[in-house]
Each structure stands twice: as C-alpha cells, then as structure tokens.
Chain A
Amino acid sequence: MWRDMQNPAFENALENGHSLISKILNDTPAAHKAWIHTESLSLDGNDSGKLQYLKEVLNLTTAPALKPISDSLNLGDCLGQIAEGLRLHQTLLTVVSNLALVKPEEVDGLLYDIRDLLIQVKKMQSQTGVTSAPETQEDLKSQLQKNLAPQLEDEYTSQVAAHLVLLHLRDFSQDVSRSFRSMHSILFPDSDSQTTVALN
C-alpha cells in the first residue's frame, strides 16, 4: 500500500504539507508574542503545572497524540489523525480568538496556514484512497463557544486560553512535522540524500 503512495502527487502534497507545518511552527512564536501580553505566559517556559487549574477550568479539547508512523500505523489513519487534530486546533483558535478582546493578524495567518495545510492533507488522503471523515467542527465550534464564552470574559483567563491553544498547536505541529518527515523518509528515501550536480 505504501508503495502506491510513492507518486509525485503524494510527494508534492507531502512536501507542501511539510512546508506549511514548518510555517506554522515558524509563525507560532510571533503570533504568541502579538497575542499574549501577559509576561508570565511564555511559549518557552514550563508553566504546565502552574496553569493546571485553569486548564481544567477551561477544559480545552486536546488533539490526540500522534504516534510515529510504522508498520502498525496505517498511513491513512495517520493522515486522519493529523487532519482531525488540525481541524480541532483551527476551531479552538477561531473560538478563542473570536472571544478574546484582541485578535492579532498573526493569529489569522495561523488559521489560514492551518486551512491550507488541511487542503494538502486532504490531497494526501485522497491519494491513499481514504475519504476524510465528515467535518463536524461546526458542532464543536458552537459547543466550545458556548462553554468558553463566560470564562473568557476575564482577560487573564482569555490570555491563558490563547496561550494554551498556541502551546497545544505548537506541540501538535511538531508531531505533524515529525510524521511528515517520517513519511517522506519512508516513501521517498532517495530524495533525502545530498544533491550532486556535475558540470557539463
């Protein structure tokens, strides 16, 4: 089955996806900096323990952890997990940013990148013959909006929610990036080697 994926279209979508996830990872700190002005909330800091209470209060849905691709993990399933996680973060980011008092354009940039990445994942999924699951994000979105709206009226809580969403997005993006690299090295091992050019 994997051998079927060794086509240029899949490789193209995979490379595009990797570029976009790299862009998300690259742009997340800038979005965090533009959005989160609470000094104690930093992407680099280890504040998971300190914010545990607010995490529970906010009850932000988290994406399932991506497992390394292997013989035991179907490529289609892996792509499905990625797509699901991306949609989740797209919804979280949308809801939290809509409820927040300020919404910097960097956050919009992240949303557009996630949107574009989802297109690439969809292309990859179509190459695997797996149809993507019906998008139920509207329900999730409305549910989240309903739950979070009263809590995000507090600015600090709103900042913590935004911080946690970006933190989760970064962690998930790192997993996605690793998964893409893994897929590429398995499916297209030759193209990862050094490029050698000879003068004519």
Chain B
Amino acid sequence: MNEMRLLKLIFGCLADINIMKLHWLPVRVMLWSTMCSFTANVKASPCAEIRTLSAVVLSGSPVTASCYIKEDCPLTKRADFRVEWPYKANLSYASVTSHEERVYQILISNLTNMIAMLECAICIHEDCNVVAGMEIKAAYPPPAPRDLTCGLNLTEQYSLLCTWDPGQETSIPTTYKLHTEIRDSAQKFVYIPPPGKHFFRIPRVGFALFNDVQVQVVAENALGRATSEPLVLDPMETAKLDPPEIQTVTAETYECLGLSWSLSKAQKWITRTLHVEIRMKPMSNKVLNREHIISKKSKSGKTVQTCKLLHGMMYQSEMRVRYNSSPWSEWSRPSVATTRMKAPTGRLVTWLKLLGQPANRQYEAELLWKPSLQFRANSMNVSYVVSFVRPPGRKEELCITDQQHCSFSIPVDIKRIHLTAVNTAGKSSPTDVTVYKWKGRDRAINLKAFPVSEESIFTNWSSPKSSAISAYVLEWKALHEGIFTTVSFEIVNKNQSALVFPGLEPYKPYNFSIYPKYKDVIGQPSSVVAYTKEKAPLESPDLKIGDLRPSSIELLWDELPLQKRNGNITSYTVFYWDKKNKTGEAKVTERRVVLKDLSPYSVYSVQLMTSTNGGSVNGSVISVMTPYVDAIEIVLIVIPACVGLALLFLTGITCFSNDKCLKKCLWPMIPDPANSSIKKWTLTDSMQDIPPLKEVKDPVPVHLSHFSLLSLSETELWKGNTPISEYPHCGKWTYTGKSVDEEHSDSSRDSGIYNSGSQSESVPYATVVFANPYRTQPAAPPAYLRSESTQPLLAEEEPSSPQPYEQMATQGTVYGADHFSAVQEDLRREEENESHWVDFPMLQSLEINDINNQG
C-alpha cells in the first residue's frame, strides 16, 4: 500500500513537472522537484501526507510544506471540504496555490523556531479535523571545532589524547571525525569518537613518535560540516615525562657536584637530549640565597656537573626534564651530597664587651661575631677558637665553640685577642679583636625604635655633638626567647643615625641597645624595647584577692609573661559590678588596685582587662563577696569609745561640780613678778641641758642670752588664801623645788610640762630674753594681755588656747618682758577689788608680796 502511494507521489511529481508552464517561478519548480526527491521527509496518515524538503532546515530559511490529501480519505467525500493549516502562534506562513489537485501548500518564509509543528486539517464548514502533522527543526550547520589539543600518554599503551571545543550546540545531532596524518609517511587515519564526546584517544598506529602528525577534527550535521584548524605536532613534545631519577651525586672537583641521572625505567629508551632543570638547595640556614634553579640540556644516563657551589656545603638536588616544549616532568626525589671542603677564609666581624669591673685582675668578657661579606666557612661545620698571646709568644685559648658567641675571662693587661675559624680542612687566618675598656662617664644616647612593618623596626639615635665617637654598635635580641636568645649586632658608621632591623617576628618584644664606640673605649649603652606590631595580649592575668574589707577589696595579679603580651602593657582596667548592676571601673598601670566604697556583705563580679597599644583582652570574671562588719571589730571599736565617753562624762561632771577646780585646771596661775628673783646663766651652760630640738615639736634652735625666773616661796604664795587642798586636780601648777636649770631643762624637753603633774608646790614664772628672736615665727599675741580685762580669764580664754610657755619658747622674749610690765601696772589698778583675787591666785600672791615689801 505504501509503495503504491510512493509511486503515485512520484508520478504526481512527474505530472506536475510536465504540466508546468515555463513562466512558473523557477524557485517553485526547484522546491517541488526537490521535495519529491526526499520521500523520507513525508509524514503520512490514512487521510493525508505532509511533505517537506527536509525535516531539518537552516534556521531563518524559508520552508515549503505540502499537504497531500488522499483520495480515499473519508473526510473528503463531501465536495465542500477544504484543507487548512491550523494557525500556530509561533509560525507565520502563507498558503501557496498549488496546481495539483488535492495538494495544499504553505510557505514559511522565515523559520526561526528550533522546532515547528506543522499540521494539516480538513474542514467542512467550521468543523476541522487534523489529518496529518510533521515536526520541522530549524538549526545551524556545526561550527568549526576549536581549541584542539593533543597530549601523548606514555603509559603502557601509548595513545594520543585529543580534545576540542565543539563550539555552539547545533540542537541537531552532530558527528565528529578525527583525521590524523603522519607527515613524511603519507599515512592517514580517521577516527570517529562516540556521540556526544568531544575527545578521542588516538591509538599508536595513528601517530608517530618524534615526527609531526597533523590532526584535524571535522564536525558534520544535517546542515553541513566544518573542519577545525589543523594541529601539527610532534606527539613527543606533548608528553609529560616521568620524574627522572638522580642515581649518584659526586663531588670530584671543588665547588662542583656531578649529578648522574636517568629517566624512569619505562622511558629509558628516550636517549635523545632533553631539557633539564636542577634545583640546588643548601642544607644550611646560614646561607641567605638559598635556592638555585639551573637549566641545561642533558641525556638520560649522563652526568650533569653543577659548579660554583659553596665549599663543604651540603646540597639537596632535585631534577626535572622535558622534551623540547613538552610539559615539565615532576621533580625527582631529592638527593643530598656535600661539596668538597676547604679551610675557612675571610674575616669575622666581632663585638667584644667587657662585663663590669675587673676582679682578681681579670675581666669577664663576652665576644660576639658574625661572618663578614668576604668570610667563607667552606664547610657545614665550623668551630671558632678565641685565644690571646701572652708574651713572649705563648698562646692561650679562651674558648672553643661552634656558636657565634663566647664568654670568658681575660687578664686586664691583655690588649688584643684573636678569633680563628676552624674546620676539618684547616683554619682561617685569625681575626684580631681589640679589647676596649668601658668609658667612665658618658652621655647617654637617645635611642628610639618605631615599627615599620610586621617584620621590621626602624631605630634612630642622636649622637652627642662634641663626641669623638668612631662607630656605633647596635645590638638586638628577642626577649621572648628567654635566656637562650641569640644576640645579634651590627656595627655602623659614626655618621649613621638610623638603622632598620628586618626579619623580626610580629607581636614579639625585642630589645635594642646602642653602644658608642670611641677611639679606645666603649661608651655606656642606651636600650629600648620595641615591637614590630602590637595586638591584644594573649590573655589577661588571673586576679588574686588581697585585703578584703567590708567596703573595699584589694586585687593583685601577676605580671603577664613576655610571650603572652603581644605588646607593651599600657594599662590594666578592673571592671566590677554587683548584683544590682551597680558598676565601677578602675584603671591602673601597676599590678594592684583597691576597689573602695563597696557595700559590706555583697557579691561583686570583677574582671580584669589588660591593654596594649594593639588592643585589649578581658580576663575571666571572678566573684568576690565583701565581708560582714565583724562583731569583734565592733566590740573593739565600741567598747573603747564607750569607756572614753564615760570617762569624759565623769570628768565633766566632776569639774563642773567644782568650778574653782575647773578654773585652776584650765587656766594657769600667774606668778607675781615682783616677788620673783632673777637668775642668769650662760648660754653654754644652758645649752648643755637642752635636748636636741629635733625631738621637740619645733626643730628651730633656741639662742638664749637672758633668762629670769620670778618665784615666790611656798608659804608666801598661799598665805591667807585658798588652801592647796582646794586644787586637788591642779597639781600641775605646784612647785617641785627643782632648780631653775632643772626646770628649764624639763620645759625644753617637753613643752607640755605644765600638764605633767610633776610640780605641785610652787608657781614658777620666767621671762626668757632671746638674743636672736625667731624672726621666722609669726608674731603671737602677748601672753598675758588678759590681765587688762576685769573679767576672769576663764570666761575669755578658750581651753585650746596656746600654752604660754609653749609660745614663749618659740617667740621673742622681748615681747614677753614688755607684756609682763603691762600686766604689773594693771594689777596695781585692780588692788581694791579683792573679790577678783580669788579668781587670780597668782596675782593675789603678787599683792601679798607687795604688802610684805611695803611692810
């Protein structure tokens, strides 16, 4: 049945051609004839068939589709049927008049959709039935494959792996073919990778070793084909060889190492010259320029000599190879060998320090050294010998070390010592070291240090203007390394005033010292501690509780270890708060703080924050409870206070019960000058008994030239007056019968002698004339001005008024004498008023004395 339809279709085509008129559009003819020739692009149903030129068309190109209605289609039994192409929103097409019966064509002028579904329907009036459909794909021809690369795999089965980029997807199946051609042999091969794969492993037959091969990829789909740019390559130049093997390393000549090498066992057949890279690394931290990579050509199995190496240095050698421009192999396994050794050469830079003053005619000294630019140890292991020559040529060794410093004792008369580097091949010529003594007095140099980066510190200093400094020695060491730290030094020119120290660690403390070096002495050093960079300390110290009181807490903490500081500790801040969130803080620089004004029996949370210039860190929070006010403490405070108050109260009651006694207690009795005798003494005698004035309140020395003492006899003083028994508590005004000298001695020992209670019988009165009055003391009011008053002194004087003797001891005696005369005159005017004499017993005694004189 299908064959019959096919025949009909072909005959239809032929008939169509036969009836074509010449004026028909030639495009039409071509389209239709072409369409007829592609019978595969026919989608048929029992009622109709849709024909197109191709089910895949170039995107954007016109497409013509025909719907052929079969004669036996039942839907066409009625004569009024029509054929329609249901409208598709994404397609724009127009019907094309067909000259063939039962063939209905449309022309899609521009098919841009990736997939378009065409449907043919038979309609009777408004009733349409789809009778056939066909899917048309719009696509592009494949783009030329790009980035074609190939790499030779030198494993057991040699193959050349080629990959490429297919470019933009074409949405229709695309096949790729890999064409290889071995140049100079005219052998060609074609390989087809699996669908969807954009790589292919060309077998050994498809390429030649050490010979150019041309590789091309051809992409092909229904719309066309494209070929990549040809890639011409020597497969060996794309192979990554195995890491070579260094078989032996020999040191047959000075400064050279011979590396005998070969390729791996599987690649030993490659005997041609290869590019070789050798990486030589000295196995010593002392070598600054550590790694060398050298390139050369060599063959597997040969020996490569690497020269201009350091003498006696252990080198780690590694090697890698490649063929021409092929990728480098991995580095070989390292091989270690040592170059031939020679005796050390060159000078050493030295820095000799005498430590303190000599003892037993020996200096303790420390010698530091480092290699000069010209120094060559010429071996891995070099030791140093420090020695001196004692006349007449006897050499004595001070120390032998493999370090670069040494401490020893040297006799004070040695002016020069020698430092020699020694290895197993020999020893260097000695470096002479002059012994410089310390300069006695020296102006300190102001050394400052500033961080430059995380690894370097800039130091500068100012040299004294008139100094004869010949050079400076800068010394630095890491403080965080403890006692095992190595001291480094640098000797700089006298005109230099700054130096940068690189290679330091951040957040670590370094001590920098500068020593001025004079012609034959060393000046005093100046030091500074600096960090390259600071940050917050690693931790904050643990708080310790010291004195704990109800209202205060003493907190202490240890010093943070250097390793944990990360900078200079600038301050400590203690934060504290109670349960009521009453907070406080205290900022200190020392490692102790007392938190005050706290509440008793309260829990306080305390935290310590430690700060550097680079940040702060908080410590852990501890809780501290302030104690109760202690009962014993209360007792110790309250009982003495109560007892004191009670005694005060009793004393007050007693005194107020007898106001005379009170008066006598509080106010002194003034003696009668008229009945006093005058005594004189020499300054020398008087001063012998004067205790050192430093022990007295006023430390100013007293210069007496005249002293008078007015006294009354015991019987005259108290005749006809108030008995002595009326002054039971006022014994301080009583006379003890001591001599004047003794009395003075007592008064000068203790200005409070009147309160001592040691005198009970007499009333002494004295005028002291100072040859050299105390000009520095302020003028005090006259001692006895109260005698001008008609009122009792008790009512005017304050109990705390200065004691007259005490004042006299510190004032000029001239004023004392004058005032005393004034008092005498006043007393005469008040003789009639005897009632007052009772209140002034001393004046009363004066009156008695006056009566006696008159009588």
Does B307 lie at the interface of the complex (its beta carbon under 8 Å from any beta carbon of A)? yes
Chain B positions within 8 Å of A20 at CB level: 209-210, 269
- Asked whether A119 lies within 8 Å of B182 as measured between CB atoms, the reply is yes
Complex Cα–Cα for A26 and B305 (A): 28
Complex Cα–Cα for A123 and B16 (A): 65
- Asked whether A197 lies within 8 Å of B184 as measured between CB atoms, the reply is no
Q: Could you list some 17 contacts between A and B, CB below 8 A? A: A16-B209, A22-B269, A27-B269, A108-B205, A116-B208, A116-B210, A119-B211, A191-B273, A194-B303, A194-B305, A195-B305, A196-B256, A197-B278, A198-B306, A198-B307, A198-B308, A199-B292
Chain B positions within 8 Å of A84 at CB level: none
Chain B positions within 8 Å of A118 at CB level: 185
Question: Which residues of chain A have a CB within 8 Å of any CB of chain B?
Answer: 12, 15-16, 18-20, 22-23, 25-27, 105, 108-109, 112-113, 115-116, 118-120, 122-123, 191, 194-200
Complex Cα–Cα for A29 and B169 (A): 49
Taking the nearest CB of chain B, how far is it from the CB of A81, in angstroms? 20
Does B268 lie at the interface of the complex (its beta carbon under 8 Å from any beta carbon of A)? yes
CB interface residues, B 266-302, toward A, < 8 Å:
268-273, 276, 278, 280, 292, 294, 296-299, 302
Taking the nearest CB of chain B, how far is it from the CB of A67, in angstroms? 22
Given contacts A15-B272, A196-B307, A197-B278, A115 and B292 within 8 Å (CB-CB): no
Does B157 lie at the interface of the complex (its beta carbon under 8 Å from any beta carbon of A)? yes
- Asked whether B302 lies within 8 Å of A23 as measured between CB atoms, the reply is no
Chain B positions within 8 Å of A22 at CB level: 268-271
Complex Cα–Cα for A101 and B753 (A): 146
- Asked whether A196 lies within 8 Å of B204 as measured between CB atoms, the reply is no
Contacts A20-B269, A200-B294 given; 4 further ones with Cβ under 8 A? Answer: A19-B210, A122-B184, A123-B184, A194-B304
A-B interface pairs (CB < 8 A), number: 95
Chain B positions within 8 Å of A113 at CB level: 209
- Asked whether A195 lies within 8 Å of B303 as measured between CB atoms, the reply is yes
- Asked whether A197 lies within 8 Å of B271 as measured between CB atoms, the reply is no
Does B258 lie at the interface of the complex (its beta carbon under 8 Å from any beta carbon of A)? yes
Taking the nearest CB of chain A, how far is it from the CB of B318, in angstroms? 14
Given contacts A112-B204, A116-B208, A116-B210, A197 and B272 within 8 Å (CB-CB): no
Complex Cα–Cα for A197 and B292 (A): 12
Chain A positions within 8 Å of B593 at CB level: none
- Asked whether A195 lies within 8 Å of B302 as measured between CB atoms, the reply is yes
Does B309 lie at the interface of the complex (its beta carbon under 8 Å from any beta carbon of A)? yes
- Asked whether B210 lies within 8 Å of A195 as measured between CB atoms, the reply is no
Chain B positions within 8 Å of A108 at CB level: 204-205
Chain A positions within 8 Å of B211 at CB level: 16, 116, 119-120
**Which 4 residue pairs are nearest across A and B when measured between Cβ atoms?**
A16-B210, A15-B272, A23-B269, A196-B305
Taking the nearest CB of chain B, how far is it from the CB of A187, in angstroms? 14
Identify A105's interface contact among B157, B184, B307, CB under 8 A.
B157
- Asked whether B209 lies within 8 Å of A197 as measured between CB atoms, the reply is no
Taking the nearest CB of chain A, how far is it from the CB of B35, in angstroms? 50
Taking the nearest CB of chain B, how far is it from the CB of A119, in angstroms? 5
Closest to A109 in B: B204
- Asked whether B304 lies within 8 Å of A197 as measured between CB atoms, the reply is yes
Chain B positions within 8 Å of A197 at CB level: 278, 294, 296, 304-307
Complex Cα–Cα for A15 and B209 (A): 12
- Asked whether A195 lies within 8 Å of B269 as measured between CB atoms, the reply is no
Closest to B303 in A: A194
Complex Cα–Cα for A36 and B304 (A): 41
Taking the nearest CB of chain B, how far is it from the CB of A182, in angstroms? 14
Complex Cα–Cα for A22 and B271 (A): 8
Given contacts A116-B209, A116-B210, A200-B292, A194 and B258 within 8 Å (CB-CB): yes
Closest to A113 in B: B209
Complex Cα–Cα for A200 and B303 (A): 19
Question: Which residues of chain B have a CB within 8 Å of any CB of chain A?
Answer: 157-158, 182, 184-185, 187, 204-205, 208-211, 256, 258, 268-273, 276, 278, 280, 292, 294, 296-299, 302-309
Complex Cα–Cα for A195 and B258 (A): 9
- Asked whether B205 lies within 8 Å of A112 as measured between CB atoms, the reply is yes
Complex Cα–Cα for A29 and B256 (A): 40
Chain A positions within 8 Å of B309 at CB level: 199
Complex Cα–Cα for A116 and B272 (A): 15
Taking the nearest CB of chain B, how far is it from the CB of A190, in angstroms? 12
Chain A positions within 8 Å of B208 at CB level: 112, 115-116, 119
Taking the nearest CB of chain B, how far is it from the CB of A96, in angstroms? 18
Taking the nearest CB of chain B, how far is it from the CB of A171, in angstroms? 18
Chain A positions within 8 Å of B268 at CB level: 22, 26
Name the residue among B278, B280, B302 with the largest chain A CB count within 10 angstroms: B302
Closest to A180 in B: B271
Chain A positions within 8 Å of B256 at CB level: 196
- Asked whether A199 lies within 8 Å of B272 as measured between CB atoms, the reply is no
Taking the nearest CB of chain A, how far is it from the CB of B655, in angstroms? 111
Chain B positions within 8 Å of A199 at CB level: 280, 292, 294, 306-309
Chain B positions within 8 Å of A18 at CB level: 271-272
Chain B positions within 8 Å of A115 at CB level: 185, 187, 208
Complex Cα–Cα for A197 and B306 (A): 5
Closest to A181 in B: B271
Closest to B256 in A: A196
- Asked whether A195 lies within 8 Å of B205 as measured between CB atoms, the reply is no
Chain B positions within 8 Å of A119 at CB level: 182, 184-185, 208, 211
Chain A positions within 8 Å of B158 at CB level: 109
Complex Cα–Cα for A122 and B185 (A): 10
Chain A positions within 8 Å of B307 at CB level: 196-199
Complex Cα–Cα for A118 and B210 (A): 11
Chain A positions within 8 Å of B157 at CB level: 105
Name the residue among A18, A112, A123, A195 with the largest chain B CB count within 10 angstroms: A195
Complex Cα–Cα for A25 and B256 (A): 35
Chain A positions within 8 Å of B306 at CB level: 197-199
Taking the nearest CB of chain B, how far is it from the CB of A144, in angstroms? 21
Complex Cα–Cα for A109 and B154 (A): 13
Complex Cα–Cα for A26 and B695 (A): 116
Complex Cα–Cα for A130 and B422 (A): 67
- Asked whether B304 lies within 8 Å of A196 as measured between CB atoms, the reply is yes
Taking the nearest CB of chain A, how far is it from the CB of B63, in angstroms? 51
Chain A positions within 8 Å of B185 at CB level: 115, 118-119
Complex Cα–Cα for A123 and B157 (A): 26
Complex Cα–Cα for A195 and B306 (A): 9
Taking the nearest CB of chain A, how far is it from the CB of B20, in angstroms? 57
- Asked whether B210 lies within 8 Å of A120 as measured between CB atoms, the reply is yes
Closest to A26 in B: B269
Given contacts A116-B209, A194-B305, A199-B306, A19 and B270 within 8 Å (CB-CB): yes
Complex Cα–Cα for A84 and B819 (A): 157
Chain A positions within 8 Å of B184 at CB level: 119, 122-123
Chain B positions within 8 Å of A116 at CB level: 208-211
Taking the nearest CB of chain A, how far is it from the CB of B543, in angstroms? 60
Complex Cα–Cα for A109 and B292 (A): 41
- Asked whether A16 lies within 8 Å of B272 as measured between CB atoms, the reply is yes
Chain A positions within 8 Å of B294 at CB level: 197-200
Complex Cα–Cα for A115 and B307 (A): 42
Closest to B211 in A: A119
Closest to A17 in B: B210
- Asked whether B272 lies within 8 Å of A195 as measured between CB atoms, the reply is no
Chain B positions within 8 Å of A19 at CB level: 209-210, 269-272
Complex Cα–Cα for A15 and B236 (A): 13
Chain A positions within 8 Å of B299 at CB level: 195
- Asked whether A194 lies within 8 Å of B302 as measured between CB atoms, the reply is yes
Identify A15's interface contact among B182, B271, B305, CB under 8 A.
B271
Taking the nearest CB of chain A, how far is it from the CB of B312, in angstroms? 16
Complex Cα–Cα for A27 and B268 (A): 11
- Asked whether B304 lies within 8 Å of A195 as measured between CB atoms, the reply is yes
Complex Cα–Cα for A29 and B308 (A): 44
Complex Cα–Cα for A119 and B211 (A): 8
Taking the nearest CB of chain A, how far is it from the CB of B73, in angstroms? 63
Chain A positions within 8 Å of B292 at CB level: 199-200
Taking the nearest CB of chain B, how far is it from the CB of A181, in angstroms? 9
Complex Cα–Cα for A198 and B185 (A): 42
Chain A positions within 8 Å of B304 at CB level: 194-197
Identify B273's interface contact among A15, A23, A120, A122, CB under 8 A.
A15
